[in-house]
Structure 1
Amino acid sequence: MKHRIAAVATAVVLGATIVQLAIGAFTDLPQFAGKGFGARLWAYPAMMLLVPAIWWLVSRRRAAVGGARAGDGAIPWAAFGLIMAPFLIDVTGNTLDLYDSVVWWDDANHFVNWFLLNAGLGMLVLRRVGIAWVRVLLVTGLGAILAIGWEVGEWYTFIRHGTELDTAYQDTLGDEALGTLGALLAGLVLARRGEGATRHTS
């Protein structure tokens, strides 16, 4: 039952994100102006589906060579949903004009979204990592890399030719720090819970 709920929730997150992206890309509403929704319309769904696609390919390869472990075939919908949720939150924030009307919204977004994103990724990549501090560092490092990549994408998509160039440096540093802290929290939570860890026996 929980598995089915997670699958439905993940599908809803994906669908709601795409609908809002289309509205932003094909309308002239002011809250979407200058925010690269034409690029986001294809980039966001691609990024949301990238991890599930990789998981499917890896699982298929393992099954083909006879190396699948017990439980590897179960689709990790909860992890996929956590990975996709930040995209929905980001787009919804633009739809409701929260980035411009709520001072703290952007900062909160980077922290919370990176927590969700890296919690989902951690559930997938930590399956064979049993040492707690290694789990924390792995998730935090992954989050930091993704935070840097995200800021580079934002700069290329709409900052370099937009109205926020003068404040972009300070904002970028803050966003990268908040994203890394969110990933650190995700790593600490997953390490404490032992989420996804496989215990090796001799």
Structure 2
Amino acid sequence: MVDKGTGEARGRGVPAWVPAGIYALTMAQLAVATFVPGIDRFADKAFGARLVGYALLMALVPAIWFLVERRRRTGKRPPHGAFALVLAPFLVDVTGNSLDLYDSLVWWDDLNHFANWALLCGGLGAILLRSVRPHWVLVLAVTGFGAVLAIGWELGEWWTFIRHGTELDTAYEDTLGDLTLGTLGSLVAGLALWRWVLSRP
């Protein structure tokens, strides 16, 4: 059966519990990091601020989508798969801290900046996919938006724990690398979305 609002087959796609589960798992780990004392790997990483900030940021994209959809009344099904992609980087980041991967694996932080930006911007691009013409513009839009988000993220990291922490001496070089990897991840996401569009009839 075809959904009249979207022209897509009903029953397909990612169910709502997937992004909801990602949100719940992320919040649960953040609560442990914030309120359970004596866990060294969570020390001096601003988890109190992350608990509030991540809760709001993870809810932002779905909230905007539902507000816009409510106004337009097109009858589209919520893009739960795209929501899951947008939320996944927050879960990956928090889980990496929970498993102490940032301190035990030298390459983990670099991988996160590349892969998480690819996931985040891939999800945002998937939401905008039907609204952007010509489709190659989506590559530029996703890459540019990802670069802006990468700058915002680095500013947030500096403000919350780098400026008064132990990483100030190496922050400049690390920030340049993170910005580059985040932008490259956004570019890969944009190219992947463009390729996906071209492959569809």
TM-score w.r.t. structure 2 length? Answer: 0.90
Q: 2: distance between equivalents of 1:155 and 1:127?
A: 36
1:185-200 alignment runs, 5 A limit: 185-194=188-197
Q: 2: distance between equivalents of 1:158 and 1:6?
A: 37
Q: Percent of counterpart pairs with the same letter?
A: 59
Q: Does the aligned pair in 2 maintain the 1:111–1:179 contact within 8 Å?
A: yes
**Match of residue 146 from structure 2:** 143
User: 1:107-166 deviations in whole A, cap 9, x for unaligned?
Assistant: 000000000000000011232223243111111001000000011111111111111011
How far did residue 15 of structure 1 move? 0.5
Aligned residues: 189
1:160-175 alignment runs, 5 A limit: 160-175=163-178
Pick one of 97, 104, 109 that aligns with 1:106.
Answer: 109
Q: 1: distance between equivalents of 2:152 and 2:134?
A: 27
Q: 1: distance between equivalents of 2:12 and 2:112?
A: 27
SS in 2 for 1:57: helix
Q: 1: distance between equivalents of 2:191 and 2:133?
A: 13
1:5-154 alignment runs, 5 A limit: 5-27=14-36, 28-63=38-73, 68=74, 72-154=75-157
SS in 2 for 1:73: coil
User: 1:17-51 deviations in whole A, cap 9, x for unaligned?
Assistant: 00000011112201100100000011101100000
Q: CA RMSD in A?
A: 1.7
Q: Which runs of 5+ in 2 are unaligned?
A: 1-10
Q: 2: distance between equivalents of 1:193 and 1:115?
A: 15
Q: Give every structure 1 segment of 4 or more consecutive aligned residues whose post-TM-superposition deviation is greater than 6 Å.
A: none
TM-score w.r.t. structure 1 length? Answer: 0.89
Q: Counterpart of 2:115 in structure 1: which amino acid?
A: V
Q: Which runs of 5+ in 1 are unaligned?
A: none
Q: 2: distance between equivalents of 1:112 and 1:148?
A: 16
Q: Does the aligned pair in 2 maintain the 1:52–1:80 contact within 8 Å?
A: yes
SS in 2 for 1:171: helix
Q: Counterpart of 2:41 in structure 1: which amino acid?
A: Q
SS in 2 for 1:6: coil
**Match of residue 4 from structure 2:** none
More deviation, 36-45/186-195: 186-195
Q: 2: distance between equivalents of 1:39 and 1:182?
A: 25
SS in 2 for 1:74: coil
